Amino acid sequence: MKLLIISGGSKGLGLALCNQYQKNGFTIVEFSRTAPHPFSVSIDLSSSVDSATVIATALAPLSAVQWQEIVIINNAGTLNPIGPAAKKPRGAVVDNININFTSGLLFIIEALKQFQGHSGKKTLVNISSGAALGGYPGWSLYCAAKAGLENFIAAVALEQDLQAKPFTAINIGPGVIDTDMQASIRKAKVEDFPAVERFIDRKESGELRPPEKVAADIFAISEQSNIENGRRYDAAG
């Protein structure tokens, strides 16, 4: 038996990943606010402490099952609010960091805690971004969270090297995908996101890849027999 645990699988890339792993024989557990699937668990990632309790409760019975393979994918994220850091309301800052960073940490930590003692292949995937590697004006919170998670995974990978039954922990950059997030970016005001025209051009020139193709690339990476612990991979273009 094979298990996929994923955050943010209600739409876009997350939904495509759920479909990709499900058709390859994985049991799916998906965490999201809208929780649209039979295998979904409703969660509010903007409330990080409460979300950690929901995650722990959902994963506890699964940890008693002997899985042949376990894949954990941290995917949930939001760009909102887009705009200069000085203009962001305090509450929106807290919600953004909880969704993009704090709840992501807690999601990963709880999954590691529940399944660390399991034998078999275990892969931890953080869906990263180009925003983890450099700043974008208007995306300060998103960039901060993505960079933090990328380095968190690098540290977790080193910790896993010391475990008797380790996870392989990796970051994957998905590239530019034709999702609702990209649609929201294209609607941003220039004063909030000066690079908006570049993202409009990407759509018009056909640079955005379908979520299904990116999901297939991510699946292929996670299923490699020689996957390298701690590495950042990029989904094929």
Helices 48-59/103-115 angle, 10° precision: 20
How far is Cα 179 from Cα 185, in angstroms, rounded to an integer? 10
> What amino acid positions are annotated as catalytic residues?
142
CA dihedral 146, 83, 14, 224 (to 10 degrees): -30
Task: Return the exposure string of 145-172: e unless at least 16 CB atoms fall within 10 Å of the residue's CB, then b.
Answer: bbbbbbebbbebbeebeeeeeebbbbbb
